[in-house]
Amino acid sequence: MKIFGIRPQDDDRILSGDVFKDDAPPGYSKVVGLLEILGSSSSISKDSGESNLSMLLEKRALLASQDSAGTSDISQVSKSKKKRQPIFVAAIAATVLFISALVSAANGSLPVGLQNSADHIMSALGIGVPNPPSTLTSPVIIASCQGYLTNGQIPDNVQLSQLQQLASNSGQSLDVFCSKQLGITSLANSKHFNQVSNPGATAPGQGSNPGSTAPGQGSNPGATAPGQGSNPGSTAPGQGSNPGATAPGQGSNPGSTAPGQGSNPGATAPGQGSNPGATAPGSGAK
């Protein structure tokens, strides 16, 4: 038997149960009969699910009692999850912090104290990390240089290493670096300089060239000889703790006065050292 297609609206009518077998389109009456059986309320199980129903009602009662007590399994699970959440977050934060610290240590970007500690710890583990970057400020550099040139050493190893690094970065020895930092005339008064690096040397401009001025003197009050000028923070070595220190060359020239004294602070003392008895220009007014 040839089965012809039916109209779309007939599909809906058949599937909705609106078409009886006898009224079905040609060839579709048996299909309608099948669908009637399918849509019947006949169950395919023996007890029609009554045993399941009693179990479900017990479950409902259990859930209701747990809800009223506020201790349902679901809420307990969610509570325990809530308790675990801060621990989990803290663990993640600690891990991130630790990794950041490691990276910072590897980059050498930690604060000096921490970087030193990291250096010690990592070197103990056989891992090299950069030395802490120099954090020396100008006054500290000068003070350190003062100590180095005066005593020949710097008690603080960290400062020493930083100073050495700064010097090497500028392509100079520590002596030269420090002498430049302090001004050349300070070098002449440096005990360390006199005793070790260049004993008996005089500051440039002194000695055979009376007319010359020591670097930093004159127009640069910040680098004047000890006790002079108006910038105590940038004085020559020994000034802070050694008020009695004399200007370079003064020790062997008691009669001379400090350069720039008097009414002309910028003036220097020409011929100091090899010119005993000479007075600094402007000192006459004193």
Rg of the Cα trace of the chain? 48
Distance between CA atoms of residues 260 and 189, nearest Å: 17
Does 1 interact with other proteins (rule: CB under 8 A)?
yes
> What separation, in Å, do the N-terminal and C-terminal C-alpha atoms of the chain show?
141
Does 19 interact with other proteins (rule: CB under 8 A)?
no
Does 219 interact with other proteins (rule: CB under 8 A)?
no
- Given candidates 39, 113, 222, 276, which one binds other proteins under the rule CB under 8 A? 39
Distance between CA atoms of residues 254 and 273, nearest Å: 10
Does 37 interact with other proteins (rule: CB under 8 A)?
yes
- Given candidates 48, 71, 76, 85, which one binds other proteins under the rule CB under 8 A? 48
**How far is residue 167 from each of residues 13, 145, 173, 177, measured CA to CA in Å?**
98, 11, 6, 6
Does 71 interact with other proteins (rule: CB under 8 A)?
no
Tell me, what DSSP letter sits at residue 18? -
Does 87 interact with other proteins (rule: CB under 8 A)?
no
Does 102 interact with other proteins (rule: CB under 8 A)?
no
Q: What is the dihedral of CA 237, 240, 242, 247, to 10 degrees?
A: 50
Return the structure tokens found at 61: 């009662």
Contact range with other proteins by CB under 8 A, out of 62-70, 107-115, 143-151, 177-185 = 62-70
Nearer to other proteins, 64 or 121 (CB): 64
CB of 33 to other proteins, least distance (A): 4
Does 66 interact with other proteins (rule: CB under 8 A)?
no
Return the structure tokens found at 92: 């993640």
- Given candidates 34, 89, 94, 99, which one binds other proteins under the rule CB under 8 A? 34
Return the structure tokens found at 219: 């127009």
Does 41 interact with other proteins (rule: CB under 8 A)?
yes
Return the structure tokens found at 227: 């006790």
Return the structure tokens found at 91: 């663990």
- Given candidates 33, 113, 276, 284, which one binds other proteins under the rule CB under 8 A? 33
Return the structure tokens found at 172: 């100079």
Tell me, what DSSP letter sits at residue 235? P
Q: Which residue reads 């003392």 in tokens?
A: 269
Q: Which residue reads 């950041």 in tokens?
A: 100
CB of 84 to other proteins, least distance (A): 23
CB of 59 to other proteins, least distance (A): 5
Contact range with other proteins by CB under 8 A, out of 31-39, 204-212, 246-254, 269-277 = 31-39
Nearer to other proteins, 65 or 100 (CB): 65
Q: Which residue reads 């020559």 in tokens?
A: 236
Nearer to other proteins, 43 or 208 (CB): 43
Residues 6+ apart with CB under 8 A from 30: 21
Nearer to other proteins, 36 or 156 (CB): 36
E strand segments, 128-216: none
Does 77 interact with other proteins (rule: CB under 8 A)?
no
Contact range with other proteins by CB under 8 A, out of 41-49, 132-140, 150-158, 202-210 = 41-49
